[in-house]
Chains A and B, each alone.
Chain A
Amino acid sequence: MGWRERFEAPVAGVAGSSGGKWARAALARVTTPLLPDDYLHLVNPLWSARELRGRIVSVTPVTSDSATIVVRPGWGFSFDYHPGQYIGIGVLVDGRWTWRSYSLTSEPDSSRDAGTVSITVKAMPEGFLSSHLVNGLTPGTVVRLAAPAGEFVLPDPLPAKLLFVTAGSGVTPIMSMLRMMRRRRQRVDAILVHSAPDAADVLFAGELREIDDSGLVEVKLRLTQSDGRLDSAALAELVPDLTEREVWACGPGGFIEMVTSTFEQAGRSDHLHIERFALERGEAGAQGGTVTFGRGGKQIEADGAATLLEAGEKAGVLMPFGCRMGICQSCVVMLDKGAVRDLRNGAEHVEGERIQTCVSAAAGDCTLDV
């Protein structure tokens, strides 16, 4: 290890400019084992690059059950994101930080100018956090953020012929893409097919109409309550040349399956980019599922009684462990996707939480960071 790596070691995981990094690394010699940020954020919660934070600027209703939330990120946040990416947002509810991922609906250029990003959240009937975000969040609240991530992005330059296929709040990552295309005046042959139950449920209805009027993108709305669900045949009818297009699709699981099979049958899977919006929560009370060990990609079927630690060992994954009875916290790993259940008390844990593999079992499909 060179002197430079050694000097920067205490702030290795911290985002920020190299000048700021060096200042922090120097100060960290005084504050070790803490970082200067651990003191600074007590003065202003946004003064920490150790954990990304943000402050809610505004919560604006979009439809009756959805709202656009504008967040001003604190230190260490990079606005170099790509339209279509999502961020993790953690909100303090009853003393607990609850995390979910949402697509960014802002676009990078104006984000950088304004120093803010935005997400658009639809309150799900059983979505405890989404309802809280839409109805319970007040401007000024400090939230935690996870850096923008995701592969669901447009290439540069854009393909000549584009198709977006979305359903419900699946339009949110596309919105960011459309806004960037508009801002950067990127004109290509683009079509958006968007499904929603009825007219009142269409997110960004006004803005989509403007985009359609301006000729940037041809917007085709499908109101499923009157027009019926979108299926392969209807999609082919709406977009006769869909096999000539590069496709970005986002929506709930069943919708994505329909789109995937449509393009598979047409032999065009290579041209389809998909994103399943929100998290595919295991059904309530699900027992067992496919456990994926993220770093090595190994998978195993586990029932609802086997601990994740046992499942991992059976799959040949080098699992960290200690007491195997829930005392020592040696086996704790991050739950990246899905849900697990604590076998001792039945409590369910969802993505964004660190879980004890020795006393937890799969509650549906899940992915662990191990």
Chain B
Amino acid sequence: MAIADIPEYAHLTDSDVEALGAELDAIRADIEADRGERDARYLRNTIRLQRGLEVTGRALTVGARKRSMWWAGATTLGLAKIVENMELGHNVMHGQWDWMNDPEVHSTSWEWDNTGPSAHWKHTHNFIHHKYTNVLGMDDDVGYGLLRVTRDQRWKPFNLGNLFYNTALAALFEYGIAAQHLELGKKRKTPEAKAELRRDITDVGTKIARQVGKDYVVYPALVGAVTRSPEAARKTATANLLANIMRNFWTNAVIFCGHFPDGAEKFTKFDLKDETQGQWYLRQMLGSANFRSGPVLGFMSGNLSYQIEHHIFPDLPSNRLAEISVRVQALCEKYDLPYTTGSFPVQYAKSWRTMAKLSLPNKYLRATSDDAPETASEKRFRGEGESRLTPVVDAGTGRRRGLRTAIAENRSRLRARVSA
């Protein structure tokens, strides 16, 4: 069963966790003190680029009857939607740019180009997911109530379709996100709860109508009227469809790379009231995973290639996560904590591999939920009867021997056993 005792799992004492928290607080303070014109310019340029891409994409699809223009328009619009979704929508709604005190790029006023209303998403994502990150039964992002992504979730025959569901979810991701807030599986007993659901459904319905109306009715009709060609109108609609699907697949992939590759840990329910700031940081670090990125990939993922840093500091500007990651890696080194990262294809493939494995019942799987690639617990280190709570400082190197070393030792033991 997933991690129950986070400090024990991390091989840290309470004072270690507090010290780690203090170091992270210092990073936050440094970045906050340094925010300024340079960051504001980055955001303004991003907005200009995004709106430029959007206008270009829409303009290109006027000629969508020509195959080359159709592709050019659809991909440009798809890129515009990706930037809008990731670097703008996601990050603005996290309050990363609230410090600018600009009413147009403020978490309270931003509405994104997605079928889910911003207000709904801020609740399911900013509050539920970022507070209860990877806590089973509390963070709905663990499988979205649809996918089996950890051995901690009991297998049901429904899970045989895991790979299919995720393909469908990826293609229709924006609708999945829109539905997530409604928690349709939940029973509502009180009249207030029922009224709230009705209100939420109206909000989602209105937003979907506007989004669908724009991409598949109004804009194609405009193009059709301008070119006097029903064919062009149809082609515009399909180009918009491709742009949306492109964006949906990409955002889904980036998000899955953040929490479902090997090494992104899950946690059992516990009393969050008692969690200190240091313990919260530690949970964010263990529960998230990065992928390596240069400036372009980083930008296109809304800098969620730095998912670990984003989860530690969800409201610090995305353009600072790269420099923060250098300092977080140094901390991981110091406390001998794993820093889960890899190339984008590898991290994404790992999350698909997990979903493929977990479509099967546990009896066909080798690892247990205490020692599996996608979920582990402190029990994996208790095997030989000894508790390894306390970190050991290696007398020879002076280096702390903690979680990272313990995982590596586990792995080499396993390898030895397999080859024997």
Contacts and interface: CB of A to CB of B under 8 A. Distances in A.
A30 B222 contact: yes
Contacts of A345: 28-29, 32
Overall SS of chain A's interface:
loop
A99 B101 contact: yes
Contacts of B234: none
A42 B51 CA distance: 9
A322 B101 contact: no
B106 A354 contact: yes
Nearest to A324: B131
Contact of B315 (A99, A322, A327, A354): A327
A260 interface: no
B214 A323 contact: no
B122 A328 contact: yes
Overall SS of chain B's interface:
helix
Contact of B94 (A39, A96, A329): A329
B384 interface: no
Interface in A98-145: 98-99, 144
Interface string A86-97: 000010101111
A51 B108 contact: no
B331 interface: no
A30 B214 contact: yes
Contact of A332 (B55, B100, B108, B222): B108
A330 B126 contact: yes
Question: Which of under 10, 10 to 19, 20 to 34, or 35 or more describes the interface residues of B?
Answer: 35 or more
Query: Which of B95, B101, B127 has most A Cβ within 10 Å?
Result: B101
Given A33-B210, A327-B126, A345-B29, A354 B108 contact: yes
Interface string B29-42: 10010011111110
B309 to A, nearest CB: 14
A325 B131 contact: yes
Nearest to B38: A95
Contact of A329 (B35, B103, B107, B211): B107
Contact of A352 (B100, B101, B207, B210): B101
A50 interface: yes
Interface in A10-34: 29-30, 32-34
A109 B214 CA distance: 43
A182 to B, nearest CB: 37
Interface string B97-136: 0111111101110011100000000110011001100000
Contacts of A8: none
Contact of B104 (A29, A51, A94): A51
Contacts of B123: 322, 328, 330
A353 interface: yes
Contacts of A332: 95, 98, 107-108
Contacts of A325: 131, 280
A42 B207 CA distance: 25
A96 B51 contact: no
B48 interface: yes
B143 interface: no
A30 B218 contact: yes
Interface string B13-56: 00000000000000011001001111111000001100100010
Contacts of A354: 98, 101, 106, 108
A348 interface: no
B127 A96 contact: no
B373 interface: no
Interface in A267-293: none
Contacts of A33: 111-113, 207, 210-211
Given A94-B36, A96-B100, A328 B131 contact: yes
Contact of A29 (B38, B100, B214): B214
A38 interface: yes
B337 to A, nearest CB: 21
Contact of B130 (A92, A98, A327): A327
26 contacts: A29-B213, A30-B222, A32-B211, A32-B213, A32-B214, A33-B112, A33-B207, A34-B113, A42-B47, A94-B36, A95-B35, A95-B36, A95-B38, A95-B39, A95-B40, A95-B41, A95-B100, A99-B101, A322-B126, A327-B314, A329-B95, A329-B108, A329-B315, A330-B123, A332-B108, A353-B101
Given A34-B113, A332-B98, 12 more contacts: A29-B210, A34-B111, A42-B51, A95-B36, A326-B315, A329-B94, A330-B126, A330-B127, A345-B32, A347-B32, A352-B101, A354-B106
Interface of A: 29-30, 32-34, 38-39, 42, 50-51, 90, 92, 94-99, 144, 322-323, 325-330, 332, 345, 347, 352-354, 356
